[in-house]
């Protein structure tokens, strides 16, 4: 089987964000299973990712028979297909319609155009959760078929090195992008209320300017900003945090599939998460953290104080083992392999 993964960003960038971490995990996992896998991206120079996965320019898609199947990674990736005519599996993070999500207003027209192309072109659509599958069915019906492939986590993580936090101060970790103005407001308010008790640390980027934010959407000085870090450095921040914090982008569940929850739990950090994040079921199932009411700073602070005082160390090992068993990247790769095999079997 020969598979191409179309990615519209630079795959050679440091793996500090979930899109690049996922790309390496899926491409590497397919390669490990003996599937000839290449990444197709608008790069200036072709090369190899991690020294073993070929990265090609989109022009190779015009070479008939080079790939048995192509997988696109995000909405915009489908625009790189050009003259490719073989089977396509398209992954979508969140399904857009003419009103929601509100934060996608500036890009709504282009996102809808990509979805329409995918609906007409793809052999299957991969979605993260049932909420987005229902939105897809409501807009496009049941053809092409949909498959659920949630976010994953690594089965192996780097060995502990150092504790990156100041000694004697419980650390609350917010990992990943700050992607809505309301997140900035909650982080700043929580940092003020918890001052002298615990410190909030951001490992990621404030991207509110991309989703309707302005110059007022700044994180206050009580939130310690570490910026983006490569994946191998992230794990020391996760394992040494008193707990990880997850905030919703808005009130709609379909727009709140929060990958950082998988990382927190895999690294052994309890999670304080906001309704209506869809991954909260993992927190409830394991009992490893708390869920607070949407937009309720009092409930957030109350739950945070409880987690600062009760770190839940007795559940740590079993939760980490559960994440490996049920949610590893290898498990997600297995889902894709079964789908690819079924599509190519029908085609032949």
Q: How far is CA 116 from CA 28, 79, 125, 167, in A?
A: 30, 11, 12, 53
CA distances from 286 to 35, 183, 246, 258, 310 (A): 35, 25, 16, 17, 15
Could you please state the CATH topology (level 3) that the domain comprising 2-150+328-347 is classified under: Rossmann fold (3.40.50)
Give the tens place of pLDDT for each residue, 259-283.
999 999 999 999 999 999 999 999 9
For residue 317, give Cα distances in angstroms to 161, 180, 267, 322, 323. 18, 33, 10, 9, 10
d(CA 33, CA 40): 19
- Name the residue among 152, 146, 108 with its Cα closest to residue 127: 146
- Token digits of residue 286: 């394991």
Tell me which fold the domain 171-325 belongs to.
Rossmann fold (3.40.50)
Tell me what pLDDT residue 274 has.
98
pLDDT confidence of residue 209? 77
Q: What is the pTM of this model?
A: 0.95
Distance CA 11, CA 64 (A): 24
- Looking up tokens 């909405």, which residue turns up? 75
Rounded-to-10 torsion of CA 319, 322, 326, 327: 30
SS3 for the chain is CEEEEECCCCCCCCCCCHHHHHHHHHHHHHHHCCCEEEEECCCCCCEEECCCEEEECHHHHHCCCCCCEEEECCHHHHHHCCCCCCCEEEEECCCCCCCCCHHHHHHHHHHHHHHHHHHHHCCEEEECCHHHHHHHHHHHCCCCCEEECCCCECCCCCCCCCCCCCCCCCEEEEECCECCHHHHHHHHHHHHHCCCCCEEEEECCECHHHHCCCCCCCCCCCEEECCCCCHHHHHHHHHCCCEEEECCCCCCHHHCCCCHHHHHHHCCCCEEEECCCCCHHHHHHHCCEEEECCCCHHHHHHHHHHHHHCCCHHHHHHHHHHHHHHHEHHHHHHHHHHHHHHHHHHHC
The alpha carbon torsion through 26, 29, 35, 37 (nearest 10 deg) reads: 40
In sequence order, what are the residues at sequence separation of 6 or more whose Cβ sits closer than 8 angstroms to the Cβ of residue 62? 82, 83, 84
The structure tokens listed for 190 are 């929580």
| pLDDT at residue 249 in the model | 95
At residue 38's C-alpha, the angle toward residues 35 and 41, to 5°, is: 155
Handedness of CA 194, 195, 199, 203 (dihedral sign): positive
Identify the segments of the chain with pLDDT beneath 50: none
In which residue ranges of the chain is CATH 3.40.50.2000 found? 2-150+328-347, 171-325
Sorted by sequence, the CB contacts under 8 Å of residue 16 that are 6+ apart come out as 228, 229, 230, 231, 234
What pLDDT is recorded for position 212? 65
């Amino acid at each position: 089987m020969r598979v191409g993964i179309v990615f519209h960003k630079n795959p050679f960038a440091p793996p500090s964000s979930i899109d690049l971490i996922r790309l390496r995990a899926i491409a590497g996992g397919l390669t490990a299973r003996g599937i000839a896998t290449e990444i197709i991206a608008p790069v200036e120079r072709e090369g190899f990712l991690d020294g073993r996965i070929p990265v090609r320019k989109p022009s190779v898609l015009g070479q008939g028979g080079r790939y048995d199947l192509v997988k696109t990674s995000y909405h915009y990736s489908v625009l790189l297909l050009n003259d490719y005519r073989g089977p396509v599996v398209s992954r979508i993070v969140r399904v857009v319609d003419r009103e929601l999500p509100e934060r996608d207003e500036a890009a709504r027209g282009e996102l809808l155009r990509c979805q329409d192309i995918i609906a007409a072109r793809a052999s299957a659509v991969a979605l993260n959760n049932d909420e987005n599958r229902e939105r897809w069915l409501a807009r496009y019906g049941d053809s092409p078929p949909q498959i659920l492939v949630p976010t994953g986590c690594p089965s192996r993580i780097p060995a502990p090195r150092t504790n990156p936090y100041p000694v004697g101060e419980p650390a609350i970790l917010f990992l990943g992008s700050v992607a809505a103005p309301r997140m900035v407001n909650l982080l700043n308010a929580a940092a003020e209320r918890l001052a002298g008790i615990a410190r909030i640390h951001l490992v990621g980027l404030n991207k509110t300017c991309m989703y309707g934010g302005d110059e007022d959407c700044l994180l206050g000085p009580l939130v310690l900003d570490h910026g983006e870090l490569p994946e191998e450095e992230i794990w020391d921040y996760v394992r040494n945090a008193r707990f990880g914090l997850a905030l919703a982008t808005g009130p709609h569940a379909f727009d709140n599939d929060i990958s950082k929850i998988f990382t927190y739990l895999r690294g052994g950090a309890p999670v304080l998460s906001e309704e209506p994040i869809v991954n909260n079921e993992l927190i409830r199932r394991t009992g490893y953290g708390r869920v607070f009411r949407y937009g309720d700073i009092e409930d957030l602070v109350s739950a945070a104080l409880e987690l600062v005082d009760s770190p839940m160390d007795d559940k740590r090992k079993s939760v980490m083992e559960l994440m490996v068993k049920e949610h590893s990247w290898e498990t997600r790769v297995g889902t894709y392999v079964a789908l690819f095999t079924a599509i190519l079997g029908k085609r032949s």
